[in-house]
């Protein structure tokens, strides 16, 4: 986009006046800022952006932006966004939510959204816990985490690996960020928006209240050692041996064309459809 367009908006233009209720120290504040910065650089007016979410702390984000938003039901942000984008391909549609909303109840839609490759950007704020409902294990929680009353002995279930699963299912852009580096996150979000097809961005976003130990993440994360690849097999190998803390880079950029609705030639009058019934 040209410099004049890019300079037209600031991040503030994309934040609403609503004050977030996230706990002070929550990583989602940085994600909101990064999203606002990315949208400012994108250069489209706020009314041409739609932010779609499910249920959870991170799903509150739409109301904190000045874009059009839909706070849907738990796990169904992706189909909501898919329907909107297919009906209104002119809009920029960003989907937001957490690891529970996205990979537990939303898991099926996640798989098919990756397959379908509609031009969406999916920002998952992963804190490996269900924060809103007081701290249960989520699909990305380690199998031996005993911090939940619901699974006091740990889940003993392998954690869900969203990036490698997303890759296998067909996602066209895969990245991992850390909330501690919002400027870089903004860059990657913008890249994801501009990249055609389904862009999957996992953000490690600590939960200060239910996973306070995640405040140590900033000492554990590292900049991903290699740049992105366009080779799915190579990306798969890297992701299979990835420990979940390689952040700050796009990991995979595919070249599948975005799913587009097949539109016929010029639309015919409705009455023409009725000919087949006539005797």
Partner 1 sequence: MAIRSVSIIIAGSGGAGVITAGALLLEAAARAGWYALMSRSAGPQIRGGEAAALLRIAAEPVASHGDAFDILAAVDWGNIGRFAAEMPLTSGSIVIGDPAEGETPAVIACSGARRLALPMKELAKAVPGGRSNMVVLGALAAMIGLPERAMLDVLARTLARKGPEAIEASTASFRAGMQAGAAFPEVPLPAAQPPAEGSRWSITGSEATAMGAVRGGVRFVAAYPITPATDVLEWLAAALPRVGGTLVQAEDELASINQIIGASYGGTPALTATSGPGLSLMTEAIGLAVAAEVPVVVVDVMRGGPSTGIPTKSEQSDLNIALYGMHGDAPHLVVAPISIGDCLFATQWAVHLAEALQTVAIVLGDQQLGQARAVIARPAELAFVSRRLTCETLAAGQPYRRYAVTGSGVSPMALPGTPGGQYTADGLEHDERGTPSSQASDHAAQLDKRAHKIEAHDYGEHWAQIEGDGDTAVITWGSSTGPSREALSRLLDAGVRARLLAIRLLAPAQPEKLARALEGVSRVLVVEQTHGGQFHRYLRAQYDLPGEVRTLHRPGPLPIRPAEVFDAISDWK
Partner 2 sequence: MSPHAIRSTDELLAHALAIESGAAQGYAELADQLEVHNNQRVAALFRRMAQIEHEHLARLRALIADRRLPHLAPWEYRWSSAEPPEAPDASGVRYLMSEREALELALTHERRAARFYAGLADDARRQDVRVLAQSFQAEEEEHVRLIEQWLQRAGATGRPDEDPDPPGEAE
Q: Are strands 222-223 and 249-253 parallel, antiparallel or unpaired?
A: unpaired
| Least distance from partner 1 to the Cβ atom of residue 66, Å | 6
Other C-beta atoms lying within 10 Å of the C-beta of residue 153: 8
Q: Specify the stretch interacting with partner 2 by CB under 8 A; choose among 18-26, 105-113, 153-161, 195-203.
A: 18-26
Nearer to partner 1, 3 or 279 (CB): 279
Secondary structure (3-state) at 143: coil
| Least distance from partner 2 to the Cβ atom of residue 138, Å | 16
Q: Specify the stretch interacting with partner 2 by CB under 8 A; choose among 86-94, 127-135, 194-202, 234-242.
A: 127-135
Residue 249, phi then psi, degrees to nearest 5: -140, 155
| Least distance from partner 2 to the Cβ atom of residue 3, Å | 6
Question: According to the binding rule CB under 8 A, does residue 211 interact with partner 2?
Answer: no
- With CB under 5 to 8 Å by kind, the binding choice for 247 among partner 1, partner 2, none is none
Q: Which residues pair with 65 in a beta bridge?
A: 15
Q: Which residues pair with 112 in a beta bridge?
A: none
Residue 141, phi then psi, degrees to nearest 5: -70, 140
Nearer to partner 2, 22 or 259 (CB): 22
| Least distance from partner 1 to the Cβ atom of residue 50, Å | 5
Q: Are 253 and 188 in contact (CB under 8 A)?
A: no
Residues in the chain: 279
Could you tell me the two tokens for 148?
């939940």
Question: According to the binding rule CB under 8 A, does residue 12 interact with partner 2?
Answer: yes
Q: How far apart are CA 35 and CA 12, in angstroms?
A: 11
Q: Return residues touching partner 2 (CB under 8 A).
A: 3, 6-7, 11-12, 19-25, 27, 29-30, 37, 41, 55, 57, 132-135, 179-184, 186-187, 190, 206, 208-210, 215, 218
């Amino acid at each position: 986009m040209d410099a004049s367009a890019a300079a037209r908006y600031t991040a503030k233009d994309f934040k609403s006046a609503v004050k977030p209720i996230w706990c002070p120290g929550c990583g989602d504040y940085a994600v909101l800022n990064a999203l606002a910065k990315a949208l400012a650089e994108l250069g489209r007016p706020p009314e041409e952006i739609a932010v779609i979410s499910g249920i959870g702390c991170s799903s509150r984000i739409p109301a904190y932006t000045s874009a059009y938003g839909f706070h849907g039901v738990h796990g169904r942000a992706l189909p909501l966004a898919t329907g909107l984008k297919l009906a209104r391909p002119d809009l920029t549609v960003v989907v937001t939510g957490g690891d529970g909303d996205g990979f537990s109840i939303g898991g099926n839609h996640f798989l098919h959204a990756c397959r379908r490759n509609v031009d969406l950007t999916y920002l998952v704020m992963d804190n490996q816990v269900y924060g809103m409902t007081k701290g249960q294990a989520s699909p990305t929680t380690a199998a031996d985490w005993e911090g939940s009353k619901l699974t006091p002995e740990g889940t003993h279930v392998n954690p869900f690996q969203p990036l490698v699963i997303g890759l296998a299912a067909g996602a066209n852009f895969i990245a991992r960020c850390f909330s501690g580096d919002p400027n870089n996150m903004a860059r990657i979000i913008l890249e994801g928006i501009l990249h055609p097809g389904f862009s999957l961005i996992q953000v490690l976003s600590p939960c200060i209240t239910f996973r306070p130990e995640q405040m140590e993440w900033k000492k554990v994360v590292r900049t991903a050692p290699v740049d992105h690849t366009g080779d799915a097999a190579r990306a798969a190998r890297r992701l299979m041996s990835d420990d979940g803390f390689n952040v700050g880079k796009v990991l995979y950029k595919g070249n599948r064309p975005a799913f587009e609705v097949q539109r016929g030639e010029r639309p015919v009058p409705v009455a023409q459809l009725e000919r087949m019934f006539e005797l």
